């Protein structure tokens, strides 16, 4: 083709510019997936020794979309910059140092694309943090120390927050041309208001550090906080996630976790069981002694119980009260329930075996009047 053909001008741009525009967009669309995968695999080499136990597909899957987005935005930016019209058109005027200046469509697009490119770069950083956290979680799962399972998610959230913070001020500086330091110092009363509003968030952050330093619990522990009971699933940047026995998700601010009354039920050595049973007044003393001795012997014989105490406690209105007290080892909760059930059934069996009866409130007529016994 004659070079003059490409120099023909339509709507303010040459045919060459239109071909370049379309060619760059087409190449970007066709090869963005291939280039994204190649760049992800190339970047993985930096983490290969560190992540030798994690498959490369995991890294590629995390980085694929942000890199594709970066390539798409960059391709579109390069393509649009091949055109002159209408990029040179002034869309609005503004006054700077008492001089009226114009702001072109091209300058506006430059700002938009710069915003999107910076956004995609920080998106890639965030995905790398996700991958590093994934590697550490895999390693923590193989260790017996459950504190690692708690620390990794927290550090992941902390570093992602730092990236968000840096990204925000980078966008302010490069896209909106705002002096971040001047912005902070110029907040004045507004800054004080923001600080007061962020007071609770700061307290929760301090609470999370306190949890990691004092280690009152780790992930997987069963705890009770101000009457709320559940298993620790995650300690986050602001709050702690618990899972109750009925599988309900409970989210408690970290400040409440350290300020409230916290019981770590997992770290206790035993579960205490205490209850009373009532035997009828018709039961003879010898029978009562035998029942008490048999109950105590049965509890003591169980390998998971200790410190059993079975005593004739008191004379109630309707019964001779026997108090049963024993400790059960801190075993699986279902096993604990089975042990309690086994002991309860044995008590029923012993009372029936000695031809006694369990007492219950009754009424007797004395002198024409009903009296409860």
Query: CATH 3.30.450.370: does it fit domain 270-353?
Result: no
User: What predicted TM-score, i.e. pTM, was given to this entire model?
Assistant: 0.65
3-state secondary structure of 125: helix
Would you place residue 178 in the very low, low, confident or very high pLDDT band (cuts 50, 70, 90)? Answer: confident
Would you place residue 370 in the very low, low, confident or very high pLDDT band (cuts 50, 70, 90)? Answer: very low
| Separation CA 322–CA 317 (nearest Å) | 13
Which of the 8 DSSP states describes residue 11?
T
Per-residue pLDDT tens digits for 12-62: 778 888 888 899 999 988 889 999 999 999 988 888 888 877 888 989 999
| Separation CA 236–CA 239 (nearest Å) | 5
Q: Are 87 and 109 in contact, with CB atoms under 8 Å apart? A: yes
pLDDT of residue 206: 84
Per-residue pLDDT tens digits for 211-238: 888 888 888 888 999 888 899 998 888 8
What is the DSSP secondary-structure string of 54-70? S-HHHHHHHHHHHHHHH
Residue position matching structure tokens 């590697």: 135
Residue spans per domain, the chain: 3-142, 270-353
Q: Are 113 and 77 in contact, with CB atoms under 8 Å apart? A: yes
Provide mean pLDDT across the span 189-201: 58
Six-digit token string for 63: 């980085």
Q: Are 150 and 133 in contact, with CB atoms under 8 Å apart? A: no
Provide mean pLDDT across the span 112-140: 92
pLDDT-above-70 percentage for the chain: 87
Per-residue pLDDT tens digits for 306-318: 989 999 999 988 8
**Dihedral sign computed on CA atoms, order 30, 36, 42, 44:** negative
Burial grade of 279 (CB within 10 A; 0-12, 13-18, 19 or more):
buried
Provide mean pLDDT across the span 163-186: 80
pLDDT of residue 290: 93
Residues in the chain: 373
């Amino acid at each position: 083709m004659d070079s003059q053909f490409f120099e023909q001008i339509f709507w303010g741009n040459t045919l060459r510019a239109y071909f370049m525009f379309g060619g760059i967009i087409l190449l970007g669309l066709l090869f963005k997936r291939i280039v994204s995968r190649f760049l992800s695999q190339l970047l993985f080499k930096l983490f290969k020794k560190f992540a030798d136990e994690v498959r490369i597909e995991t890294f590629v899957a995390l980085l694929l979309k942000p890199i594709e987005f970066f390539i798409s935005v960059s391709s579109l930016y390069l393509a649009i910059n091949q055109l002159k019209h209408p990029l040179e058109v002034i869309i609005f005027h503004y006054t700077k140092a008492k001089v009226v200046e114009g702001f072109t469509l091209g300058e506006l697009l430059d700002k938009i694309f710069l915003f999107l490119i910076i956004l995609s770069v920080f998106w890639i950083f965030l995905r790398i943090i996700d991958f590093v956290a994934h590697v550490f979680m895999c390693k923590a799962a193989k260790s017996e120390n459950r504190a690692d399972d708690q620390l990794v998610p927290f550090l992941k959230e902390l570093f992602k927050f730092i990236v968000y913070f840096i990204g925000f001020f980078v966008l302010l500086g490069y896209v909106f041309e705002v002096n971040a330091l001047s912005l902070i110092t110029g907040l004045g009363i507004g800054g004080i208001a923001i600080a007061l509003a962020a007071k609770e968030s700061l307290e929760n952050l301090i609470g999370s550090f306190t949890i990691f330093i004092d280690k009152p619990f780790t992930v997987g522990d069963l705890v009770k906080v101000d009457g709320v009971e559940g298993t620790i699933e995650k300690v986050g940047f602001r709050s702690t996630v618990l899972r109750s026995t009925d599988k309900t998700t409970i989210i408690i601010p970290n400040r409440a976790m350290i300020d409230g009354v916290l019981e770590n039920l997992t770290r206790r050595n035993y579960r205490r069981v205490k209850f009373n049973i009532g035997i009828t007044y018709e039961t003879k003393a010898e029978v009562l002694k035998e029942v008490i001795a048999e109950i105590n012997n049965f509890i003591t014989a169980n390998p998971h119980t200790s410190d059993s105490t079975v005593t004739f406690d008191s004379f109630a209105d309707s019964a001779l009260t026997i108090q049963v007290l024993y400790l059960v080892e801190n075993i699986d909760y279902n096993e604990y329930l089975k042990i309690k059930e086994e002991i309860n059934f044995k008590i029923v069996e012993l009372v029936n075996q000695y031809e006694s009866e369990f007492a219950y409130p009754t009424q007797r007529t004395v002198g024409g009047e009903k009296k409860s016994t």
